[in-house]
Amino acid sequence: MSETVVLLIGHGSREPAGNDEFRRFCDAARPHLGPERVEPCFVELATPLVPESLDRCVALGARRVIALPVILLAAGHVKVELPHALDEARTRHPGVEFLYGRPLGLDPLVLEIVHERLAEVEQHAAWPVEDTAVLVVGRGSSDPDANSDLYKLARLLWESRRYPWVEACFVGVTQPSVPEGLRRCRALGARRILVVPYFLFTGVLIPRLHRLVDEFVAAHAGVDVRVAAYLNGHPKLFQVLRERKLEALRGEARMNCALCKYRVPLPGHELAARASA
């Protein structure tokens, strides 16, 4: 086998369908990532987990492992847990090179996919632009830097679309919640709302999002809401992963550390920086 293994790291879900989608995505990604062996694993909630997968790569004969997080927004898993797992693997396997790539992030190709998903739902809802809002929905995190990227996505969509409002909210962990986001769109004057889930795969959160939207529609007569498809293994993601692999090989896998709560004592998050020091 190749002495290099590419390890694709998914978040993991309590919903088996989401884990199955990730595995199918990894199978489809293999031809796009080069001749190296490709192995899937998960951060949590599903197996195999990252530490055992790193060991398995070495057991298969790898002298170099390229770990690529298939994750949209960089929070604690990407910034702390995965680097720690790689450091421990380097200690266990001193003769093996472990490289770490950037997450998918707000890549131009990822933005193109979001535009495509929005365009798909627009085709079935020929609504007047002037009273339509777009609501971008993310997973939610305790990391303010990761959450701010969702707002950046919303702003980029506003800059490139004709809608008067593009808002952001989260399914869990932080606010504004999905009901709060929907109510805000209504309060701003929207009679129609296009919901765009910023998720790679299904899981417990996609059905929860649809349930929250249905509850809102039932309670607000006169407001029409449509939910776009999530990213769902779009082929353009293969191109992003290939670039992340090449960045890691070139030693160019840079991330934004200036606003990371684990490295900078941001107001309200000072303890996180001290804990990771």
Tell me the pLDDT band of 115, cut-offs 50, 70 and 90. Answer: very high
pLDDT at 92 over 50: yes
User: Which band of pLDDT confidence, cut at 50, 70 and 90, is reported for residue 269?
Assistant: very low
d(CA 40, CA 153) in angstroms, rounded, equals 28
- pLDDT (tens digit per residue) in 153-209: 999 999 998 899 999 999 998 999 999 999 999 999 999 999 999 999 999 999 999
Q: Using DSSP, how many helices (H) and how many strands (E) does the chain show?
A: 10, 8
Q: For residue range 116-152, what is the model confidence (pLDDT) as tens digits?
A: 999 999 888 778 889 999 999 999 999 999 999 999 9
Whether 212 and 169 have beta carbons less than 8 Å apart is answered as: no
**Is the pLDDT higher at 226 or at 260?**
226
* CATH at 213: 3.40.50.1400
Q: Are residues 271 and 209 in the same domain?
A: no
Under 8 Å between Cβ of 74 and 145: yes
Same-domain pairing of 217 and 245: no
Last residue of a domain, one of 193, 210, 227: 227
> Are residues 125 and 217 located together in one domain of the fold?
yes
Distance (Å, rounded) from C-alpha 214 to C-alpha 226?
A: 10
Give the confidence band of 268 by pLDDT, cuts at 50, 70, 90. very low
Number of structural domains found in the chain: 2
Are residues 257 and 221 located together in one domain of the fold? no
- DSSP-derived letter for residue 95 is T
The pLDDT assigned to 233 comes to 84
Residues 142, 165: Cα–Cα separation, whole Å: 25
- Rounded to 5 degrees, what are φ and ψ at 276? -95, 0
With 90 as the cut, is the pLDDT of residue 271 above it?
A: no
pLDDT in tens, 27-86: 999 999 999 999 999 999 999 999 999 999 999 999 999 999 999 998 889 999 999 999
Query: Are 134 and 205 part of one and the same domain?
Result: yes
**What was the pLDDT predicted at 258?**
42
Residues 118 and 98 in one domain: no
pLDDT digit string (tens) for 202-233? 999 999 999 999 999 999 999 999 999 999 98
138 and 62 housed in the same domain? no
Residue type, 113: I
Same domain, 146 and 253: no
CA proximity to 193, closest of 172, 170, 171, 214: 214
Place of tokens 């990532």: 33
Global pTM? Answer: 0.89
Q: According to the model, what pLDDT value does residue 43 have?
A: 97
Cα–chain center distance at 182: 22
Are residues 14 and 80 located together in one domain of the fold?
yes
Is pLDDT of 108 > 70? yes
Range of the domain at 97: 4-105+235-275
Q: Which residues, 6 or more positions from 183, have their beta carbon under 8 angstroms from its beta carbon?
A: 216
C-alpha span between 209 and 172 (Å, rounded): 10
Look at 258 and 51; give whichever has higher pLDDT: 51
